[in-house]
Amino acid sequence: MIKYISIALIALLTISCGNTPKELAINSSGEEIQQEKKYEVTKTDAQWKELLTAEEYDVLRKAGTERPHTSPLNKQYAPGTLICAACKAPVYENEYKFDSGTGWPSYDRAIEGQVERDVDYKIGYARTELKCNTCGSHLGHEFNDGPRKTTGKRHCINGIALDFVPKGEELPALRK
């Protein structure tokens, strides 16, 4: 009996703690309330599927993970900006990249205000998920094992979630 109650409780928590992004707002009475976050770039699931490859869609919109050591961005250290592959918003500067040895591109910080943090329980415990603040696409996760001389953070990012724009080239317009 306790087993079934535990399973039901876990299912209820999973449903009530879904992946719909929330943000705090103040209602007309001055009370804090949670409401669904509105992104500058929003598309239907069908529109994202039309714009992205199957692999991009899995990572960016379904929070999948690319295989380690498969991204050409792992060894890309030239000066430039990394943009979200879904909406084309700038999210990282390559000057903050470092070799973490993990097999995924790693940065010690994002461009200020361009990446949001969320909580991800996908593998059974809480991790800090990193998302594009413009469209809500999944980029990767943040860990506390980055370079101690800078931020101490490691933004472990799926290379397929990013496009590289070399320094001096114009950034593309947002994909609205």
133 beta partners: none
Task: Judge whether 156 counts as a catalytic residue.
Answer: yes
Task: Check residue 31 and give its pLDDT.
Answer: 56
| pLDDT (mean) for 34-56 | 90
Task: Check residue 37 and give its pLDDT.
Answer: 81
Measured CA to CA, the distance from residue 88 to residue 68 in angstroms comes to 23
Task: Enter the tokens of residue 14.
Answer: 């999973």
Look at residue 101 and tell me whether its pLDDT is greater than 80. Answer: yes
Look at residue 114 and tell me whether its pLDDT is greater than 80. Answer: yes
| pLDDT (mean) for 31-36 | 55
Where helices occur in 17-167 by DSSP H, the ranges are 45-51, 54-62
Task: Enter the tokens of residue 53.
Answer: 């490859």
At 132-145, the pLDDT tens digits run 999 999 999 999 99
Q: What is the mean pLDDT of the chain?
A: 86
At 64-94, the pLDDT tens digits run 999 999 999 999 999 999 999 999 999 999 9
Catalytic residue among 84, 132, 135, 156: 156
Task: Check residue 35 and give its pLDDT.
Answer: 53
The model's confidence at residue 29, banded by pLDDT at 50, 70 and 90, is low
Task: Enter the tokens of residue 23.
Answer: 């943000």
| Single pTM value for the model | 0.80
Look at residue 55 and tell me whether its pLDDT is greater than 50. Answer: yes
- All domains in the chain, ordered by first residue: 39-166 (2.170.150.20)
